[in-house]
Structure 1
Amino acid sequence: MPAQSSPHALRPTTPPSMPLQALLDLTGATVVTAAPTQVVVTGIEQRSNAVLPGDLFAALPGASAHGARFAADAIAAGAVAVFTDAAGAELIGEVAVPVLVREHPRAVLGELSAEIYGHPSDRLRIIGITGTAGKTTTSYLVEAGLVAAGLATGLIGTIETRIAGQRVPSALTTPEAPQLHAMFAAMVEQGVQAVVMEVSSHALALGRVDGVRFAVGAFTNLSQDHLDFHADFEDYFGAKRKLFAADSPVAARTAVVCVDDEWGTRLAGDLAAPITVSTVGAATWQVAGPVHTVGAQQEFTAAGPDGELTVRLRLPGRYNVANALLAVATCAAAGVDAEVVAPALATVDVPGRMERVECGQDFLVLVDYAHKPAAIESVVATLRGHLTEAGHGRLAVVLGAGGDRDSGKRPLMGAAAVQGSDLVIVTDDNPRTEEPAAIRAAVLAGAREVPATDRGEIREVGDRAFAIADALAWARPGDVVLIAGKGHEVGQEIQGVKYPFDDRAAVAAALEALRARPTAQTDSEDLTVS
């Protein structure tokens, strides 16, 4: 079992051994304090509370504080050297370990981490999946295909990290470079052959995947998100493009691009020889004929370079057809027979992605991670189509927007939710440090801009548990209730504190209460209706 330096950090059981002088040569850094004679580095870490004896501590400038302020703690924990910039060296002062100084140290952190751990990604088939929506679902589908082909796999993503069957919750969609290369080294040690990982735009922009050798890169789509971090859509797209562009140090050897939106089409047009995927037009891999749905399950024919094959899915929604087709094409690009991959997709469920919560109720309850306007629009359209096909039933949506994130998407989320829904209840998501009522007001403003003739009822219930209970009390047999935004998450962050909260558990508790009190009504004090 890999040694752990913190709840979310995995390392190989046999530490590496790297002379500090070799790292000086690699980075071009200079030493401003103690000489590096005989110093051997056995790991690298940029979090002082996760340092192990023998580590090189990467003291980098951060958004709120310089990592050098924590150098004393790292040295006390056993760091044998510090890697920083000139400002960091000044903060550190005189210490008993070598301090390596380089301008823009983050620029070489990935390659430095890869070097310390012996370039483990060179010994793995790394598949990176990027895009706004669908990364997690596509990752799970690709992993299922690889496992069906008999490969030992690793998975790194939003929900969890898995190494040879071990599950570890993910702190970030894509870990920082020191943790990522340590994970790869642990995977190599345990016989993993292929790794599927989500690659966020933050990771690409901040160099978290630097030093990784990607065998295949896959692109899902692009829609509004993270514009609190990126300057604009062009900047957002530019970050995603790094996984594919020939002039990027992390460019995948093979690119698989879904061209169902304008950004995918543009990306494919920028590349020399991409493998393209489309559910609506001509591409290397495309959907041949209609998509058949039975309840929440789907079946379609995928047409690829070597012919056609049938793909069945437990996951509803046209966007999941795109995810599945992308998964088949990605596995094929990684050298796996598509005929082996396709049957495996029929078994896949993804936590918090259109996840059913079944507690004996006579209506459908789904928990989904949709928290972007395009994703909400797609999910609502899918569920409305399900009800239309059934010939009866109404749709309720419970959603909120996260605080300290892209505020521009909030009214768009509200508008997307009400178009096609019979009831929308706007509630709190993760307010973080923002005023919850202000976030709800922005979502409500977008919802109320939709003409009353084109939408259903709108309510505001700030307490998320009450909001869920209100929607369930509203539901009748044959209806659908969608709890959107948090998906697999098991906490709600309010003013720096993460309180236990799981939408699935809240649904179960509310349904139990409804059974005990059949005529019960939500007693929230902040319920408003429009």
Structure 2
Amino acid sequence: MSELTAPDASAPSGHDATPGFRPAAVAAVPLAAIGESIGVVVPGASSAVPVTGISLNSRAVRPGDLYVALPGATRHGADFVADAVDAGAVAVLTDDAGARLLALSNDIPVPVLLAAEPRNVVGRLSALIYRSRPDGAGAPALFGVTGTNGKTTTTYFINALLRALGKRTGLIGTIEILAGGEPIPSLLTTPESTDVHALLALMRERGLDAASMEVSSHAISFHRVDAVVFDVAGFTNLTQDHLDLHGTMEEYFQTKAQLFTPERARAAVVTVDDDWGRRLAAAAGIPVTTLATSTAPTGGTASGPADTGWTADWTVVRTTPRGLGSDFILRHRDGAELRVHTGLPGSFNVANAALATVMVLAGGHEPADVQAALDAGDPFTVAVPGRMQLVSTAPAAVVDFAHNPDALERALEAVRSPEPGSKVIIVFGATGQRDQSKRPAMGAIAARLADTVIVSDDDPHDEDAAAIRQDVLAGALAAKDSEGLDCTVLEVFPRDAAILKAVELAGAGDTILVAGRGHEVWQEVKGVNLALDDRVELRNALTARGFTVLEDHRIES
């Protein structure tokens, strides 16, 4: 899913408009306490105004809410104060620009609080209003996972292992949000801080034991996890992505590193397969458990601890294939071992399963109990929608979210069949209005690792789709020519036609990888959302050719 690069308080369909995010009962907080939290004195009778919720979106306001009017991409949230008040807002928080807009309008019948940077205090106020992470017993144990790749799968694995341990769990992530009931579709990798704290309070209200959450760099940059303290924070890896936001890999790293501080987490598990992870483990200001999932850690572009003599607390050893997945041993530096299996393909899913296991151990669970849960429940064979999701086996047809160079390379390596003569056919593109430098790199990777490369459209957004395809094609063709690669490179669009072409070219022994969009069911083109689910298109194309497809209730019809 594509992240928003800036908050837009004026957007009429904001994320916290989704129903079901809030606890049923919230004890009122007097406006004076809210003012005190941000250094504002609330005079007179206004100080006693009871506040029972908080919203960034006027269309999501409920009676008793504090409406936070932020500057947006096109309009200021102050333009919607009247709507918020009509919906039941009892107070408004805004900045100087918002106050000037309100001064030009009719009198506002509710108190208005001012802050220089309202977004910077929204998380703190949300935690105060919802009492989302109270000291003492009652709050679910909270696991946060960050890194470039693997966040979604790792959170699903954590939850699956915790459920195998008999725990009731919640989830906040890219694909869906779970609070012990029906799934709530997720629109961002991490929701706004108002929703995060409301969800955590809802999970506490429902008596959940634990929850896992994806924590993107956008979430940290845009204050979506402010005032959230994780019991265990986990780090997967760091590879090129989101440089349209961060500018450099160093800035990207520094943003991720903010999660591993006492203000945001109590303990950490850090994968140290590259220099970024080793550097993070050395610099974190909280207790760190280190994990090596590669027997030969690779370097990177970060400056950090030298490889010489580096020994992780836990190490993946003796990985052996079993079906599409892998068996492996997770060995502690003291010699203790855990036997682990994942039914999902690829070495990266071994890494995800190992990280999930060590994070659960870091959360206080005994190794013997974890081993019993691993043996009895096989939790790491859980289906993760759009993450190495198998649609058919002959040909092997896989849909994956791989949308950056590292993820694409790993996915292609994972799906290559050892059978002689088996071909790999890939359909992919690149997202518009995002880091353009990764487009030719992804094209080159596809040319090196696939037999047939079909370049199509991902989510163009407002960028010219043909220009995006040309950037990807240029990388693929350059690699093919300069490296003498024996692959076929095609340009086919729209995307459903590209998927159909891939199936037309495939034999029963081949592999089709449709990469980049994963679980997404809408394609954004020039501001219009077009219905498009790679899994549905792939299933329909396979069925039309007479191939047998796997049934999966998570694939939308």
Same fold (TM over 0.5): yes
The residue identity in structure 2 corresponding to 1:261 is: D
Inter-partner Cα distance in structure 2 for 1:37 and 1:379:
56
Distance 2:352 2:109 in 1: 53
Alignment correspondent of 2:64: 54
Letter in 1 for 2:325: Q
SS in 2 for 1:243: helix
Does 2:502 match 1:479? no
1:22 alignment counterpart: 33
Paired residue secondary structure (2:93): strand
Matched residues in 2 for 1:101 and 1:95: separation?
Answer: 14
For residues 105-129 of structure 1, what are the alpha-carbon distances to aligned partners after superposition, in whole Å with 9 as ceiling and x for unaligned? Answer: 2221111110001133652211100
Contact 1:374–1:416 (8 Å) recurs in 2: no
- The residue that corresponds to 2:343 in the other structure is 314
Q: Distance in 2 between matches of 1:431 and 1:295?
A: 37
The one-character-per-residue Cα deviations of 1:69-125 (angstroms, maximum 9, x if unpaired) are 221211111111001111111112231110000111222111111000113365221
Identify the residue that residue 519 of structure 2 maps to in structure 1.
488
2:117 partner amino acid:
H
Instruction: Say which SS state the counterpart of residue 225 (structure 1) adopts.
Output: coil
Matched, 1:349 2:378: no
TM-superposed CA distance for 1:353, in Å, is 0.7
1:362-396 alpha-carbon deviations (Å, 9 max, x no partner): 31100001001100011111222xx2x33331100
Corresponding residue to 2:496 among 465, 469, 475: 465
1:349–1:5 CA distance, 2 compared to 1 (3 A): closer
CA distance in 2, matches of 1:142, 1:120: 20
Rounded to whole Å, the distance in 1 between the matches of 2:164 and 2:386 is 23
User: Aligned residue for 2:271?
Assistant: 258
Superposed, which structure 2 residues align to 1:210-289 within 5 Å?
210-246=226-262, 249-250=263-264, 252-271=265-284, 273-281=287-295, 282-289=311-318
- Structure 1 counterpart of 2:550: none
Q: Which amino acid aligns with 1:74?
A: A
> What residue identity is the alignment partner of 1:101?
L
Task: Tell me, in whole angstroms, the C-alpha distance in 2 between the residues paired with 1:326 and 1:176.
Answer: 26
Superposed, which structure 2 residues align to 1:21-40 within 5 Å? 21-30=32-41, 36-40=46-50
Cα pair 2:454 2:489 within 8 Å, conserved: yes
Which residue type is aligned with residue 404 of structure 2?
A: K
**Equivalent residue for 1:378?**
410
Equivalents in 2 of 1:116, 1:79: separation in Å?
14
TM-score by length of 2: 0.87
Moved more, 336-345 or 399-408: 336-345
Q: Specify whether residues 323 and 483 from structure 1 end up closer, same or farther in structure 2 by C-alpha distance, changes over 3 A only.
A: same
User: Which stretch of the first structure deviates more once superposed, 56-65 or 34-43?
Assistant: 34-43
Task: Please point out which of 498, 522, 525 is paired with 2:529.
Answer: 498
Structure 2 counterpart SS, 1:301: strand
**RMSD, aligned CA:** 1.9
SS of 2:245 mapped into structure 1: coil
Alignment of 1:302 with 2:330, yes or no, is yes
2:552 maps to which residue?
none
| Alignment equivalent of 1:515, drawn from 546, 551, 556 | 546
1: CA distance, partners of 2:134 / 2:329 = 34
> Is residue 2:474 matched to residue 1:445?
yes
Opposite residue 225 of structure 2, the aligned amino acid is: V
Give the deviation of 1:346 after TM superposition. 4.0
Displacement after TM superposition at 1:402 (Å): 1.0
Partners of 2:118 and 2:406 lie apart in 1 by: 37
Picking from 84, 87, 99, the partner of 1:89 is: 99
How far 1:179 sits from its partner (Å)?
0.8
Is contact 1:418–1:456 with CA below 8 Å preserved after alignment?
Answer: yes
Determine the C-alpha separation between the residues in 2 that align with 1:346 and 1:212: 27
Q: Is residue 2:124 matched to residue 1:111?
A: yes
Moved more, 422-431 or 84-93: 84-93
Where 2:62 maps in the other structure, the secondary structure is: coil
Aligned CA distance change for structure 1 residues 31 and 437 (closer, same or farther; 3 Å): farther
The within-5 A match list for 1:374-453 is: 374-384=406-416, 387=417, 389-452=418-481, 453=484
Structure 2 unaligned regions, length at least 5: 1-14, 296-310, 548-557
Q: SS at 1:454's partner residue?
A: coil
CA distance change for structure 1 residues 76 and 215 in 2, over 3 Å: closer, same or farther? same
Distance in 1, matches of 2:459 and 2:518, equals: 12
Read off the aligned partner of 1:193 and give its amino acid letter.
Answer: D
- The residue number in structure 2 matching 1:127 is 143
Inter-CA distance 150–294: structure 2 relative to 1 (3 Å threshold): closer
Distance 1:401 1:96 in 2: 48
Asked if the contact 2:132–2:198 (Cα under 8 Å) also holds between the matched residues in 1, the reply is no
The verdict on how the C-alpha distance between 1:286 and 1:113 changes in structure 2, with shifts beyond 3 A counting, is same
- In the TM superposition, what are the counterparts of 1:93-172 in structure 2 within 5 Å? 93=103, 94-120=107-133, 122=135, 123-172=139-188
Q: Give the distance between the partners of 2:82 and 2:498, measured in 1 at CA.
A: 47
Query: What is the aligned partner in structure 2 of residue 527 from structure 1?
Result: none
- How far the C-alpha of 1:418 sits from its partner, in A, is 1.4
Aligned-partner SS, 2:226: coil
Q: Take 1:413 and 1:121, find their aligned partners in 2: how far apart are those partners?
A: 45
Measured in 1, the distance between the counterparts of 2:207 and 2:335 equals: 31
For residues 101 and 253 of structure 2, the distance between their equivalents in structure 1, rounded to whole angstroms, comes to 36
Name the CA shift for 1:417/1:20 in 2 (closer, same or farther; >3 Å). Answer: same
1:462 to partner: Cα distance: 1.6
Alpha-carbon distance in 1 for matches of 2:478, 2:487: 12
Residue matched to 2:298: none
Q: Give distance in 2, aligned partners of 1:158 and 1:104.
A: 27
Contact 1:145–1:340 (Cα < 8 Å) also in 2? no
8 A Cα contact 1:365 1:480, kept in partner: yes
Q: Deviations over 1:417-446 (max 9, x none)?
A: 111110010001111111110110111111
Aligned residues with identical type, % of pairs: 46
Given the two structures, how large is their TM-score scaled by the length of structure 1?
0.91
